[in-house]
Amino acid sequence: MSKEVKDTVSVHKSVLLNEVIQGLHLSDKSVVVDGTFGGGGHSSEICKRYPKAKIIAIDQDKHAWVSAKSKFKGIKCDISFFNINFRDLENVLVKEKLATVDAVLFDLGLSSDQLENSGRGFSFLKDEPLLMTMKENPSPEDLTARDIVNTWSEENIADIIYGYGEERFSRRISKAIVESRKKNKFETTFDLVGVVEASVPKVAKRGRIHPATKTFQALRIAVNDELNTLDIGLKKGFEILRVGGRMAVVSFHSLEDRIVKRFYKAKEEAGEANLINKKPIAASEGELKENPRARSAKLRIIEKI
């Protein structure tokens, strides 16, 4: 690992921090699975408030722990970090010799660190290799955004952009991608941004969000199999909860929130859980001023019975 990577410090600011921790109903004896450690914001705050709690931190990005270490300086905390995808969280409990836990947290989407420092092409504002994988060191066999735009059919690319990005100009964009790659293969994020911007009508360029936002979201979700992973993670996370334990999920777009809402509703109807909040909790005006990224965040909490 290079010195540049080692010296990177987390700039991530966790959204709905107080609402999540209060909603999980923790104590000093709590065992908490932070399934999306990211910048370590939620875990470090739990450690501050409940210094005798046990934190099991999970992140697919190995660099997450390196960049977040500074947040734990001076904090007495029993925390274990595991570099895995949360869809495999049951393996962690075996290693920790635990049957159940008191709380499970999933803060979905990208951390600010991944956008700013990963170098893997998550941001359309930086010219980086077009990878979009959560893995710090992807193998040649791992799917990347570059693979999708350079080799997938026009129809499949359009389906991805529409289905995972809810992009109404998906057909235009996919057609432009396929035409462009005949001349030059896509290598970097700016290669893709330029094609997307040129393919959408002027009205789309005057909107509140960047015209490449939805396309980048769709490719990232496809590369990392995020929706299927979320479905698996919710099921496994609920399974390891003790009776009376709680699960909190922060989502950032409608596709994620729909999966969480459906899962929670099914557990409630089956008599296996109670909804702590009937409607999703959103960020306050004060938090939005400090962290605009929180504007799309929705928090849902469930308790196992």
Domain ranges in the chain are 3-113+226-304, 118-224
Q: 205-209, 214-218, 230-234: which range is least confident on average?
A: 205-209
Nearest to residue 178, comparing CAs of 195, 164, 165, 198? 195
**How confident is the model at residue 5, as a pLDDT?**
36
At 295 the pLDDT is 86
| 204 has a pLDDT exceeding 50 | yes
Greatest pairwise CA separation for the chain in angstroms: 61
Higher pLDDT: 209 or 116? It is 209
Query: Which homologous superfamily does the CATH classification assign to the domain defined by 3-113+226-304?
Result: Vaccinia Virus protein VP39 (3.40.50.150)
Minimal CA–CA distance to 55: which of 85, 65, 207?
Answer: 65
| Residue whose tokens read 């959204």 | 15
* Whether the predicted pLDDT of 3 surpasses 80: no
Indicate if the pLDDT at residue 4 is higher than 50: no
Q: Which CATH number fits domain 118-224: 3.40.640.10, 1.10.150.170, 1.10.600.10, 3.40.309.10?
A: 1.10.150.170
Residues belonging to the binding site for S-adenosyl-L-methionine are 40-42, 59, 86, 107, 114
Question: Average of pLDDT values for 84-113?
Answer: 90
Q: What are the tens digits of pLDDT across the range 117-149?
A: 678 899 999 999 999 998 877 888 999 999 999
Tell me the whole-structure pTM to 2 decimals: 0.89
Higher-confidence position of 38 and 183:
183
Does residue 112 or residue 214 have the better pLDDT?
214
Q: Which residues are annotated as a binding site?
A: 40-42, 59, 86, 107, 114
